[in-house]
Each structure stands twice: as C-alpha cells, then as structure tokens.
C-alpha cells in the first residue's frame, strides 16, 4: 500500500517501520512530472531494494531562472498514481517550507566537477542539487539511491559527494530512457510545441555521430565536435549551447581521446533547454 507523506517527521517514522520489517531502503529522488525515465529508476529499485521511497520536490535552490522554476510541471496526483502502479511504498512530497523553513546558511560547494557544461551555464545549479540530495539522504537514510545517466554530470557530482562526505549509501546509475525517435525523456519535453518537437532529436543525432567518430578512431575532440555540431539544423529556434567530450569521472574537457569519454550536449529548442549525453568508447588499439 502506497503512502504519501509531506513532513520529514512522518517520513522518518514510516521509513523506520519499513526498515524493521522489510530490510533495505531504495530511494529515487525526483522533481515529479514522472515519465518512463523515472519509471525505469523505480523499477530498478523495486528489483534490488526491499522497499522504494520516491521523493517529489521541485527544489528552488537548483534553478537559476525564475521562469524555469515557475513553469516546471507539477502533476502530483498523476505522479502518485504512477508510483502506486509501480509498487512504490512511500512518496515523500514536502513543501518548500518543510525543506527550507529558513534560508539555508550552509550549502554543499562543488569543486571542479561543476566547472563545465551545466555547471558553467547554470551558476549554483549543482550546489543546489548537491545540497538537496544530501538533505534527502539525511532524511531518508537509504541503503541504495538511483540516478539516471541522462543527467550524467549530476550522477558524477552525487557519486563524488557521497565519497567525499562518507555518506553510507550505494549510488546506482540507470541508463537513459528514450522516445522511439531517440529524444531522451525529460519532464521539460512537454514544453516543446508541435513545431519544436521534431527539431529536438538533432542533439541525440549529433551525439551518436560523435560516438561513431570516436569508435572509428578519431581522436581530436575539437575536430569531432566541430564537425558534428553541423548536424544541428540551421533554424532560428535552435541554439547549441554545448557539445563537448569530457572525462566520465571529473567532467573535465578532453582534448585527445584515448580512453572512454562522455559526449555531452545542451540544446536550446525555443525557450526550452534540453540536455543529453552518450558514452563513447575509442577503437581498441592494436
Ligand atoms: P528529475 O529531473 O526529476 O530526475 C529525477 C531522476 O530521474 C534523475 O536521477 C534523472 O537523471 C532521472 N531521469 C530523468 N530523465 C531520465 C531518462 N530519460 N532516463 C533515465 N533517467 C532519467 O534530477 C533531478 O530531478 C533533480 O536534480 C534531483 C536529483 C531530484 C534533485 O533535486
């Protein structure tokens, strides 16, 4: 039976009850507007963990633009219904006042991992993510927590944070779930209008071509990304913000590809910023 709680105290009480009866606690933090990508995290958690806790909280601390925060979809009833169908035991859906009763004086500062890509273009974003994830870990105290590879930089930040702070949780990365045409599922996709939607797939097309180039033996990152950026159609509604090859662990740009790298990109489609990434493995050297 699914339970929905909105206070930290109630959540802690219910988690403690479950821990006594069912063993391990799996945790899937989300901002709601759940789709098949979130569902795959929950299904993975259902297979591995005793019970699954899902948090639904649109975290103001990680938004750099007020309009993005305001426009973020919040279909709570549908989200709870999906969680029920997926066998989630507990949904934690706190208010902003419950999570931040006063303006926080302490934030998790992120080092080099936040210097590039989303960290560069969205100042304070990863500090906001790391801070809320650490708070949620303290509230839920999960044994395992599940994060999507869709947000590869976020996954790297969370992995490193639990290492640096000795947080006793196992982080599990889950592959990106895509629409049939390749577009990575995202809560922001609903903002794309009918004219914008077909344009949005061009980022994944470019990223896949980057991966194919690396696989075929190309090694110069600027040459590869410069070439494949041209796959983004010249359209006034599209603006490629990033197309970079980065190290999978520290997210620093790579100039010459010798080991596996992540090709990461951000594309503005109208007023919506979409991100995606693909892992690239160089051809084995003989
Ligand atoms: P949100 O964007 O709701 O994503 C919640 C989780 O779902 C993240 O781990 C994200 O990587 C994963 N996810 C999103 N789209 C996916 C897809 N297409 N395939 C697989 N996984 C996908 O990420 C956040 O929320 C927040 O930053 C949060 C971690 C909850 C902190 O506020």
Reported confidence tier of residue 118, pLDDT bands at 50, 70, 90: confident
pLDDT reported for residue 140: 98
* Mean pLDDT in residue range 127-132: 98
Classify burial at 233, counting beta carbons within 10 Å of its beta carbon; exposed 0-12, middle 13-18, buried 19 or more: exposed
> Ligand 1 within 6 A of 147 CB?
yes
The token duo for 27 is 């945790």
> Ligand 1 within 6 A of 128 CB?
no
**Residue 280 predicted with pLDDT over 70:** yes
Reported confidence tier of residue 132, pLDDT bands at 50, 70, 90: very high
**Residue 244 predicted with pLDDT over 80:** yes
| Cα-to-centroid distance, 29 and ligand 1 (Å) | 7
Q: Please say whether the beta carbons of 265 and 242 come within 8 A.
A: yes
51-56 vs 25-30, strand pairing mode: parallel
Q: Which of 62-66, 264-268, 282-286 has the lowest mean pLDDT?
A: 282-286
What separation, in Å, do the N-terminal and C-terminal C-alpha atoms of the chain show? Answer: 56
pLDDT reported for residue 285: 64
**Residue 24 predicted with pLDDT over 70:** yes
Q: Please say whether the beta carbons of 281 and 213 come within 8 A.
A: no
> Ligand 1 within 6 A of 207 CB?
no
3-class SS letters over 38-77: HHHHHHHHHHHCCEEEEEECCCHHHCCCHHHHHHCCCCHH
> Ligand 1 within 6 A of 59 CB?
yes
* Mean pLDDT in residue range 6-35: 95
In the chain the domains, ranked by start, together with CATH numbers, are: 3-174 (3.40.50.620), 187-280 (3.30.1300.10)
Nearest CA to ligand 1 atom 24: 30
> Ligand 1 within 6 A of 274 CB?
no
| Cα-to-centroid distance, 223 and ligand 1 (Å) | 31
Q: What is the pLDDT of residues 154-207, one digit of tens each?
A: 999 999 999 999 999 999 999 999 999 999 999 999 999 999 999 999 999 999
In angstroms, rounded to a whole number, what is the distance separating the alpha carbons of residues 248 and 266?
Answer: 17
* Mean pLDDT in residue range 31-35: 98
| Cα-to-centroid distance, 30 and ligand 1 (Å) | 6
**Residue 284 predicted with pLDDT over 90:** no
125 an active-site residue? no
CB 191: neighbour CB atoms within 10 A? 18
| Annotated catalytic residue, options 18, 38, 116, 125 | 38
């Amino acid at each position: 039976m699914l339970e929905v709680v909105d206070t930290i105290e109630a959540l802690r009480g219910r988690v403690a009850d479950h821990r006594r009866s069912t063993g391990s606690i799996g945790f899937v933090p989300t901002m709601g507007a759940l789709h098949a990508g979130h569902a795959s995290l929950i299904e993975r958690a259902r297979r591995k963990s005793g019970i699954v806790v899902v948090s639904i909280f649109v975290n103001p601390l990680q938004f750099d633009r007020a309009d993005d925060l305001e426009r973020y979809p919040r279909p709570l009833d549908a989200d709870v219904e999906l969680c029920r169908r997926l066998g989630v035991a507990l949904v934690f859906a706190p208010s902003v006042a419950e999570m931040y009763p006063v303006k926080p004086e302490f934030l998790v500062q992120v080092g080099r991992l936040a210097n590039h890509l989303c960290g560069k273009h969205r100042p304070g974003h990863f500090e906001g993510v790391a801070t809320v994830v650490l708070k949620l870990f303290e509230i839920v105290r999960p044994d395992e927590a599940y994060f999507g590879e869709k947000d590869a930089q976020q996954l790297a930040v969370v992995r490193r944070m639990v290492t640096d702070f000795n947080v006793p949780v196992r982080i599990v990365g889950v592959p990106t779930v895509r629409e049939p045409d390749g577009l990575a599922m995202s809560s922001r996709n609903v903002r794309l209008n009918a004219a914008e939607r077909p344009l949005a797939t061009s980022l994944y097309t470019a990223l896949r071509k980057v991966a194919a180039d690396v696989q075929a033996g190309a090694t110069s990152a600027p040459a590869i990304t410069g070439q494949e950026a041209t796959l983004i159609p010249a359209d006034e509604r599209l603006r490629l913000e990033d197309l970079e090859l980065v190290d999978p662990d520290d997210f620093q740009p790579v100039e010459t590809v010798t080991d596996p790298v992540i090709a990461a990109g951000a594309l503005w489609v109208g007023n919506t910023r979409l991100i995606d990434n693909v892992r690239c493995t160089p051809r084995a050297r003989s």
